Structure 1
Amino acid sequence: MTPPVELRTLVLGGTRSGKSRHAEELLEGLPCDAAVRYLATGRRIPGDTDWDARIAAHAARRPAHWTTEEVVGTELATALARPGPVLVDDLATWLTGVLDDAGTWAAPVVPAGVDAAVDGLVSAVAAAPGPLVLVSAETGLGVVPDTRAGRLFRDRLGELNAAVARVCDDVVLVVAGRALALPPGGTAGTPAVAPAPVTEVPAAETPEPEVPAAGIAATEVADPAGDVAGTPAGVPGAVVPATGAAAGAVAGAAPTPDSVSESDVEIVPVTVGRPDSRSRREAVALVDGLAMPTGGLGRLGELGVWLASCQGVCPPQAPVRARVLLLAADHGIAANGVSAYPPEVSAVRATAAAAGRLPVTVAARAAGATVRVVDVGLVSGAEGAEPGWLVAHGTGRIDREDALDGERATTAWLTGRRLADAEIDAGADLLIPATLAVGVTTPAATLVAAVTGAEPVAVVGRASGIDDRAWMRKAVAIRDALRRARPHLRDPLALLRTVGGTDLIVLAGFLARAAERKVPAVLDGLAVGAAALLADELAPGAKDWWVAAQPSTEPAATLVLEHLSLVPLLDLAVRTEDGTAAVTALPLLVTAARLLAETGTARDTGVVPGDVTAAAGAGR
């Protein structure tokens, strides 16, 4: 029996999954006089006989009264405006052509034309008269090379599929020839279950940030343009409480409603909206029109475009309220001699930071940034560090036991989010988080290996300057911790709880919440990078709100940058791992914003290319 077709249906699947055949079956059930318009997006490649054979096989099985139109680029959106029924096969091939035509693979930033084409297609799908069936490859179910181009294609395809799914009436996943209807209105990680009852909290007792009630529709998370809606459901890693007893509030943080216990909440991944595409396109056009050679600003131009998209305004404003958050915590694994420093130096570093004596605090003064030192997990505290955000006194040894229990892990995640809220509510327009913990690169490297699939020896570095014997102890600790992590590879928070640490979970919550609130952050060091990896798992899309300060000497940090597709701003070989390089990059961000805002245009200044045969020296 032919399944019914909705007004707009998206059919997803991997290579040779049967997705195209299922899409055709959806439209074969229409009246026989319905001439389906088949929009083919694949481009013929001269000399590729295998590709020609695939095209012929697809054409042969379609009914004779169907018509075929080969469309590329913006032609697809135009074709969708004409009456249906229509079958589009497929979006992944269409996107490849758009990226090719724009010269994306060699461009330092994705050209504005790509965003314009994608936005135009999504709008055309939403307005299509229908019936309309679209086929696309699901990200991760096909062969994509682990290169910059491969990661760019993967990310863009995932974003395209999600945007189209939001404007479709039905989404189907085809696996091994079998079609699975996906729940309506779903977002990554959102369970399709009936809402649980939630005890109403009087308005006067409602905390900030608000904890969302269970069962809020995931369709409220983001609009088709990618902007996160201002609803509780739009919180990355949204806290979905179960019905339960009274809560114990985190010290120094906003309390949880009396009807919710932090031990009962469930962390649910929720997609973060992308930076504003319209402002980005305007900024790209602005840079192209400045009084300089094409591409003359290099990475500074890219930074200015990124700032404009994050701020949603062009030209961008220079960051003037940068805030550095330094977390103090202890790790149980540090007692195993994996660092050049003894465990108690974590508290010593926190005290020195509070006194303004660490490199990061000196650099912050020079850059005009303010610094906050917070104790989230020291065993005995530290003079000058804020104690009101303490989650736990140290952690377990991750090679033998979990770093934290489930309740403290949830509390750490919430604490990071509340710290982000506190900084942003105080006016921060750029955030730089870091940790001062001794031994933190051991759990951080373990997390990176768990997420990326790297072998233990591929992530072990010298960090604080350890000798060969300490390096071997560290490698063994990471190996044993990674074995303990394997049952939790698909659960980011469980990974953090098992082989992470208090500061790493707080950092992840901090970065996810900052992205949800559309405040950019600068990443620096392996620990922050590892936390960012997990934050992007719990808040997909958060990485678009971050920029990397520099490459690290730690091999695991290189894997982080590759996984998040981030290109460092500097390469100063700074090894402090405390945010010093990120603070050093602040003047670059300020300069990038001012270059876009204050540089004259070629038209206004008359600085335009001339005849190459002009007299020598005329342009000097």
Structure 2
Amino acid sequence: MCGVTPPVELRTLVLGGTRSGKSRHAEVLLEGLPGDAAVRYLATGRRIPGDTDWDARIAAHAARRPAHWTTEEVVGTELATALARPGPVLVDDLATWLTGVLDDAGAWAAPVVPAGVDAAVDGLVAAVAAAPGPLVLVSAETGLGVVPDTRAGRLFRDRLGELNAALARVCDDVVLVVAGRALALPPGGTAGTPAVAPAPVTEVPAEEVPEPEVPVAGAAGAEVADPAGDVAGTPAGVPGAVVPATGAAAGAVAGAAPTPDSVSESDVEIVPVAVGRPDSRSRREAVALVDGLAMPTGGLGRLGELGVWLASCQGTCPPQAPVRARVVLLAADHGIAANGVSAYPPEVSAVRATAAAAGRLPVTVAARAAGATVRVVDVGLVSGAEGAEPGWLVAHGTGRIDREDALDGERATTAWLTGRRLADAEIDAGADLLIPATLAVGVTTPAATLVAAVTGAEPVAVVGRASGIDDRAWMRKAVAIRDALRRARPHLRDPLALLRTVGGTDLIVLAGFLARAAERKVPAVLDGLAVGAAALLADELAPGAKDWWVAAQPSTEPAATLVLEHLSLVPLLDLAVRTEDGTAAVTALPLVVTAARLLAETGTARDTGVVPGDVIAAAGAGR
């Protein structure tokens, strides 16, 4: 054994990939305790009947541990209970523990993750924070590759990443093991922090027995490295600050408006490192409420799940039906529209904005029917539009993303802040549910480019017919996306730079709007490829924001399908609406209201007597 055994902290979290040496490093930490202390080894890997390879891995791990250590096999909430007893304790590992929790809850196929998962995770984090120690936790570092190709894989990646982050906040020391070398992460560090110093222990024996794989029963999809070495969608730099993109900025967009006087250096706001999740207690109460209603188990289906989501967003059970739903329509022009990538000429963006302001578009008609109010805002039209609010203008159009950046760094930052201020204005005015959309011609081209950049998809896999384009326009669009993706490659790790380079004014405003709404705990309904692409980047800039959104319907655009998979969102409807202006989202509003009222007004089985027959018989016998 090379190196010197370091002192073990009260609580240490050891992270690493498969066969990285993380388990051996954790064992070394506790082997160095004075007096040959008897370590309790809490094994979370469940035995799988008939799986001899798995049994062999477990036996190999047990054989290399000191003989005076004791082993306890724990699952689910048993782990939190076991941590309450005095240490020293080694837990190996949390990935297998989480897998078991997700298995027990039936979460892999559930449209909404059952409340029991949140309860188990919260209980474990609390137990770790209160553990008497010394305590060493081992967990798999995940999410280092392109998005898993299954919903279950994305669920596992997201939940394990959240669990690791939550535990890191309550641990005294966090170590990342790579290729047998231990790296101590800085205290209180955040994603993107550049400083990583090596820990005193520098090596793990090369003959180490391989660590056990995490058996997810085919759930966690394999992560594939980007061919060029980049991991699409990973933020770069320090994620707390909104700053103009680095590198040579593109020249000013022709005819672009100056930055509004209201924006100054002091106005540059801080992007949250993470957005708080909807209230787990209200979620659990809502799940219990639905289970007790006068109906067969699971009788409300997706409506019940929608009501549970709304309750968790509002932080109250039963949830209240939204009474001030607001539709915010953004008007903007995209330079790429001049390349014939849409069935409509570029000037139709302003025409649509005027029609929307007059209440003549499908989305505005649907909003009147659903009782929602509409606001039309000009954030990037070349020449403005009658009836559209001009006070939020960021730029007059954008550059052609296949040849030049959509915006320069200053205007990209302004667009992000504009979206946040728009959300603040709506929420301060009383909005309790938000539906953002864009009216821009050609917007699906930059939107599809962004989706391809984040997910690693090929250009032809994201090109759709959108406004009803013919084959020639489809080919022009595919070429434009291909060329834009080449320009985007240097910025795959920087969401704001990606939006600046191959996005557009309305897409950046949408991203800022969605991130701010989630930060202020106001739910939103997503509809269409453009909003979905903005949501992808919003969740990168404000991790966790996706928990505050629900998808209205699957779009006919192939890139939109990738968005839903990436964000793990299950659509409420499937109406094949292709307007891309928020019409489907507004159409889903009555479902949200109905879901809330079902939870609030439906009688319980106990109160109504609507219970299964054997229960009725038992009740009658007791009278």
TM normalised by structure 2 equals 0.87
**Structure 1 residues 393-430: Cα deviation after superposition (integer angstroms, max 9, x where no partner):** 10000000000011110110011011111111111000
Is the contact between residue 328 and residue 373 of structure 1 (CA under 8 Å) also seen in structure 2? yes
How far off is 1:546 after superposition? Answer: 0.3
Cα drift, residue 227 of structure 1: 32
CA 490–573 in structure 1, closer or farther in 2 if over 3 Å, else same: same
* 1:112 to partner: Cα distance: 2.1
Distance apart, 1:264 and its partner CA: 11
CA contact (8 A) 1:522 1:582 kept: yes
How far off its partner does 1:611 sit? 3.8
Decide whether aligned partners of structure 1 residues 570 and 539 sit closer, same or farther in structure 2, where only a CA change above 3 A counts.
Answer: same
Q: Deviations over 1:30-77 (max 9, x none)?
A: 113311111111112222222122212212221222111111111111
Cα distance 1:221–1:15, how it changes in 2: closer, same or farther (>3 A)? closer
CA separation in 1, counterparts of 2:240 and 2:447?
20
- 8 Å CA contact retained: 1:282, 1:314: yes
Secondary structure of 1:371 counterpart = strand
1:618 is displaced (CA, Å) by 17
**Alignment check: 8 A CA contact 1:523 1:582 kept:** yes
Tell me, in whole angstroms, the C-alpha distance in 1 between the residues paired with 2:57 and 2:200: 52
* Partner SS state of residue 234, structure 1: coil
Task: Write the distance in 2 (CA, Å) between the matches of 1:38 and 1:16.
Answer: 19
Question: CA, structure 1 residues 43+423, in 2 after alignment: closer, same or farther (shift >3 Å)?
Answer: same
Structure 1 pair 388–541 and aligned structure 2 pair: CA distance change class (3 A) = same
Deviation at 1:223, TM superposition (A): 34
Distance 1:184 1:320, change over 3 A: same
The verdict on how the C-alpha distance between 1:237 and 1:2 changes in structure 2, with shifts beyond 3 A counting, is: closer
Are the structure 2 counterparts of residues 540 and 115 from structure 1 closer, same or farther at C-alpha, using a change threshold of 3 Å? same
State the match for 1:489 in structure 2.
492
Describe the superposition over 1:318-364 as per-residue Cα deviations: whole angstroms up to 9, x where unpaired: 00110110000000000000001100000111111111111111111
- 1:528-553 CA deviation, whole Å, 9 max, x = no partner? 00000000111111000000000111
Greater alpha carbon shift after TM alignment, 156-165 vs 558-567: 156-165
In structure 1, list runs of 5 or more residues that go unmatched: none
CA contact 2:230–2:493 (8 Å) conserved in 1: no
Q: Is the 8 A contact 2:290 2:599 kept in 1?
A: yes
Question: Does the aligned pair in 1 maintain the 2:242–2:270 contact within 8 Å?
Answer: yes
Residue of 123, 126, 129 corresponding to 1:126: 129
8 Å contact from structure 1 (residues 226, 274) kept in 2: no
Moved more, 556-565 or 200-209: 200-209
Tell whether the 8 Å contact from 2:421 to 2:513 is kept in structure 1 after alignment. Answer: yes
Q: Is the 8 A contact 1:272 1:539 kept in 2?
A: yes
CA pair 233-365 structure 1, distance change in 2 beyond 3 A: farther
Q: Residue 108 of structure 1: CA displacement?
A: 3.6
Contact 1:292 1:607 in 2 (8 A): yes
Of the three residues 394, 407, 410, the one matched with 1:391 is: 394
In the alignment, is the contact (CA less than 8 A) between 1:214 and 1:242 conserved in 2? no
Q: CA deviation at 1:188?
A: 2.7
SS at match of 2:617: coil
Per mean C-alpha deviation after superposition, the further-off stretch among 499-508 and 178-187 is 178-187
Q: Point out which structure has higher relative CO (alpha carbons under 8 A, 6+ apart).
A: 2
Deviations 1:203-222 (A, max 9, x none): 99999999999999999999
CA distance in 1, matches of 2:71, 2:526: 49
Change (3 A) 1:248 1:367: farther
Question: How far did 1:183 drift?
Answer: 1.7
Matched, 1:114 2:141: no
Q: Do the aligned partners of residues 259 and 213 (structure 1) sit closer, same or farther apart at CA in structure 2, a change above 3 Å counting? A: farther
Question: Residues 105-158 of structure 1: CA distance to partner in whole angstroms, max 9, x if unpaired?
Answer: 233432222221111111110000001000001122599952122121111111
The 1:197–1:350 alpha-carbon spacing in structure 2 relative to 1, beyond 3 Å, is: farther
How far 1:379 sits from its partner (Å)?
0.5
Is the CA contact (8 Å cut-off) linking 1:250 and 1:389 kept in structure 2? no
In 1, distance between residues paired with 2:355 and 2:418?
A: 23
Give the length in aligned residue pairs.
620
Corresponding residue number in structure 2 for 1:172: 175
Secondary structure of 1:238's aligned partner: coil
Give the 3 Å change call, closer, same or farther, for CA 140–369 of structure 1 in structure 2.
Answer: same
Change (3 A) 1:150 1:610: same
CA displacement, residues 219-267 of structure 1 (integer Å, 9 cap, x when unaligned): 9999999999999999996547999999999999999999995499697
Secondary structure of the 2:615 match is: coil
Contact 1:235/1:513, CA 8 A, preserved across alignment = no
Structure 1 residue 158 and structure 2 residue 169: aligned?
no
Conserved 8 A contact 2:183-2:198: no
Q: Secondary structure at the match of 1:150?
A: helix
Does structure 2 conserve the Cα–Cα contact (< 8 Å) formed by 1:413 and 1:509? yes
Q: Which piece of structure 1 moves more, 262-271 or 192-201? A: 192-201
Distance 1:252 1:265, change over 3 A: farther
In 2, Cα distance between the equivalents of 1:12 and 1:199? 15
* Gap runs ≥5 in structure 2: none
**Counterparts of 1:200 and 1:391, CA distance in 2:** 54
Stretch moving more, 437-446 or 235-244: 235-244
1:241 is aligned to 244
Q: 1:598 to 1:541 in 2, by over 3 A?
A: same
Between stretches 112-121 and 434-443, larger displacement belongs to 112-121
How has the CA–CA distance of structure 1 residues 36 and 252 changed in structure 2, closer, same or farther, with 3 Å as cutoff?
farther
Measured after TM superposition, the shift of residue 269 of structure 1 is 5.9
2:556 to 553, 557, 574: 553
What SS does structure 2 have at the residue aligned with 1:557? helix
Cα–Cα, structure 1 residues 374 and 191, in superposed 2: closer, same or farther, change >3 Å?
farther
CA distance, structure 2, for counterparts of residue 227 and residue 359 of structure 1: 41
Structure 2 distance, partners of 1:478, 1:465, is: 17
Q: Could you give the per-residue CA deviations for residues 561-617 of structure 1, whole angstroms, max 9, x where no partner exists?
A: 111110100111111100000001000000000000000000000000114999999
Deviations 1:421-470 (A, max 9, x none): 11111110000000000000000000001111111111111101111111
1:351-390 → structure 2 map (5 Å cutoff)? 351-390=354-393
CA distance in 2: counterparts of 1:132 and 1:409, whole angstroms: 46
SS of aligned partner of 1:129: coil
Contact residue 146 and residue 225 of structure 2 kept, 8 A: no
Deviations 1:469-507 (A, max 9, x none): 111111111111111111111111111011000000000
CA distance 1:206–1:125, change in 2 (3 Å): closer
- Alignment CA distance shift 1:223-1:153 (3 Å): same
- The 3 A distance-change label for structure 1 pair 418 and 229 is farther
1:200 to 182, 203, 224: 203
Q: Per the alignment, in what secondary structure is the counterpart of residue 200 of structure 1?
A: coil
Checking the alignment, whether the CA contact within 8 Å between 2:423 and 2:517 is kept in structure 1 is yes
Of 30-39 and 328-337, the range deviating more from structure 2: 30-39
Identity %: 97
Matching residue within 284, 289, 300 for 1:286: 289
- Between 147-156 and 459-468, the greater mean CA deviation after superposition: 147-156
